With several copies, the nearest count.
Chain A
Amino acid sequence: MKKILNDPTDFVDEMLDGLIAAHPDAYSLPHPRVVARPGGAKEGKVGIVSGGGSGHLPVFAGYVGHGLLDAVAVGDVFASPSADQMADCMRVAHGGAGVLRLYGNYGGDVMNFDMAGETVEFEDDIESTTVLLADDVVSAPPEEAAKRRGTGGMVYAFKIAGACAEAMGDLAHVTGIAQRTADNCRSIGMALTPCTVPQAGKPTFMIGEDEMEMGMGLHGEPGIWRDTLKPADAITDEMMDRLLADMPLKHGDRCSIMVNSLGATPPEELYIMYRRAKDRLDGDGVVISMPLIGRYATSMEMTGATITLCKLDDELENLLRKPCHCAFWVQHDLT
């Protein structure tokens, strides 16, 4: 296992120690495995919480910050946090105006967040709502879209709903905005090499020296097909085809697009993909607003990329372009 770590069982906690030591103004650890903004919940602001497995930085803990999330529950690598941690996380984020649970549609996370929601409703009288990201088009056909898993769309939802909450929208409004963002996001991924979960010590999947897997998930879930590696433009075309088939965009439509590295794939290659994706959208007369190119939702040292399209209306675009601030993403006001 070619990783820089100590005892694999300490991986997540040592990572969190380092994260908070490095950015004490950005993050605090009010409970074990619960990362929150320092200073506590803001009175009257809707709290937005998320959570899930570790190994995806900046997802999840990294996105705690101004204009983004209020608190997250941090699981082991690729594993759900416990319902107990999620309940703590919701308590920390609650500023009296309720809490939105905003996260990716993975079985374990959903079960635990549901359980946590019932607990804090019962024990703490916290009103809460849920919006699930289910943006990965490969993970289920359109008829079963609710079964899809969440990926890059989470980042758009954090950003847009976060800006809405920062503007003191109420729980219904923030939830509605988050849901509309979730409904407007489509993602697809491809992977070239696996990553290794520290406690497992061996790669998450096996793949040939010149093979790629189109549609593979963030944890190595199988995709659509495995084939010899194709040129960047062909890969990008296939990904864009699948996304646009699922959510057609027409002349004059606006969208943001995220070309995201799963970890090892360098920005140089993402820009080569973006170049092609933009050509495609330009050709269709689709207007790109605030493209995101970089490492936004990763799988540790996996090689590969995901593309996410987020269709925008005036309100979503305005919220997307509002400022945000965390250790991984500082954005000035672009409205």
Chain B
Amino acid sequence: MTLDCHDLVRATRRLAAATAAAKDTLNAQDGKLGDGDLGITLANGWAEADSAELPTDDLGRAFMVLSKAFQRVSASSYGTLLATGLMAAARAAKGRESIEMTEISGLLAAARDAMMARGRGELGQKSVLDVLDALAAATADLAEREEIARAARISVDRTLEGFRQRPAGLGRARMYGDASIGLDDPGMLAVKIMLDGLMA
């Protein structure tokens, strides 16, 4: 099974719909320990991406268009990190019409690494990084769309659960120290929402 530019166009459309629907929920979650803009960030970013013209023959350049969309319309941490992750995927897929599903895990890992470099963050600090890290591991060597979907869902839920009782160590939420204990990291939650949207 492969992933090509048309898949990416479809995925973008779904992500735009899912994040538009979840906008208020995500804003509210981000507002508990931050500035309450995460819903806007995602909805605006994916809407912009959805309205952009994606190339059909170069998956790398297609990822780059998505990255640029986030660079244009969002300056909040998550938008910039997503743009960074998408750029890493762009680099990895550059010049290819499609990739194998087995390569998805590698793209996730590449995104994770680029985002760690960009945000000077580490694993274990209760952020989107931990979700990506777990996802990369959970999807390693899987070749079927359904398999990947199932593994990803389980992995995200487990990661959320595993970090819930830990304090935030990155971003705005870090300032709140122990007040963040018991609350899901909004950036992790956003991945769950995007994943659900992709599979809807």
A and B directly contacting (CB within 8 A):
yes
Residues on A facing B (Cβ under 8 Å): 75-76, 78-85, 107-108, 110-112, 114-115, 119, 197, 200, 221-222
Which residue in chain A gives the minimum CB-CB distance to B68? A84
**A115 proximity list for chain B (CB < 8 A):** 71, 80, 83-84, 118
**B74 proximity list for chain A (CB < 8 A):** 82
**Given A82-B75, A111-B84, 16 additional A-B pairs, CB 8 A:** A82-B72, A82-B73, A82-B79, A83-B71, A83-B75, A83-B83, A107-B120, A110-B120, A111-B81, A111-B118, A112-B75, A115-B83, A115-B84, A221-B175, A222-B175, A222-B176
- The CA-CA distance from A75 to B80 in the complex, in Å, is 14
A selection of 15 A-B contacts at a CB cut-off of 8 Å is A79-B37, A80-B75, A82-B79, A83-B71, A83-B83, A84-B68, A107-B120, A108-B76, A108-B77, A110-B120, A111-B80, A112-B80, A115-B83, A115-B84, A197-B35
**B77 proximity list for chain A (CB < 8 A):** 107-108, 111
* B36, A108: Cβ atoms closer than 8 Å: no
**A76 proximity list for chain B (CB < 8 A):** 75
Q: For the complex, is B106 an interface residue (Cβ under 8 Å from A)?
A: no
* A111, B119: Cβ atoms closer than 8 Å: yes
**B75 proximity list for chain A (CB < 8 A):** 75-76, 79-83, 85, 108, 112
User: Given known contacts A78-B35, A79-B35, A221-B175, is B118 in contact with A114 (CB within 8 Å)?
Assistant: yes
**A108 proximity list for chain B (CB < 8 A):** 75-77, 80
**A82 proximity list for chain B (CB < 8 A):** 71-75, 79
**A114 proximity list for chain B (CB < 8 A):** 118
A302 to chain B, nearest CB (A): 16
- The CA-CA distance from A76 to B79 in the complex, in Å, is 15
Which residue in chain B gives the minimum CB-CB distance to A221? B175
**B73 proximity list for chain A (CB < 8 A):** 82
- The CA-CA distance from A317 to B15 in the complex, in Å, is 55
B1 to chain A, nearest CB (A): 32
- The CA-CA distance from A222 to B79 in the complex, in Å, is 25
Q: For the complex, is B171 an interface residue (Cβ under 8 Å from A)?
A: yes
B112 to chain A, nearest CB (A): 15
**A119 proximity list for chain B (CB < 8 A):** 71
* A84, B175: Cβ atoms closer than 8 Å: no
B130 to chain A, nearest CB (A): 17
Which residue in chain A gives the minimum CB-CB distance to B37? A79
Mask, B95-126, CB within 8 Å of A = 1, is: 00000000000000000000000111000000
- The CA-CA distance from A80 to B35 in the complex, in Å, is 12
User: Given known contacts A115-B118, A222-B175, is B35 in contact with A83 (CB within 8 Å)?
Assistant: no
Mask, B46-84, CB within 8 Å of A = 1, is: 000000000000000000000010011111110111011
B13 to chain A, nearest CB (A): 23
B95 to chain A, nearest CB (A): 17
- The CA-CA distance from A84 to B76 in the complex, in Å, is 13
- The CA-CA distance from A119 to B64 in the complex, in Å, is 12
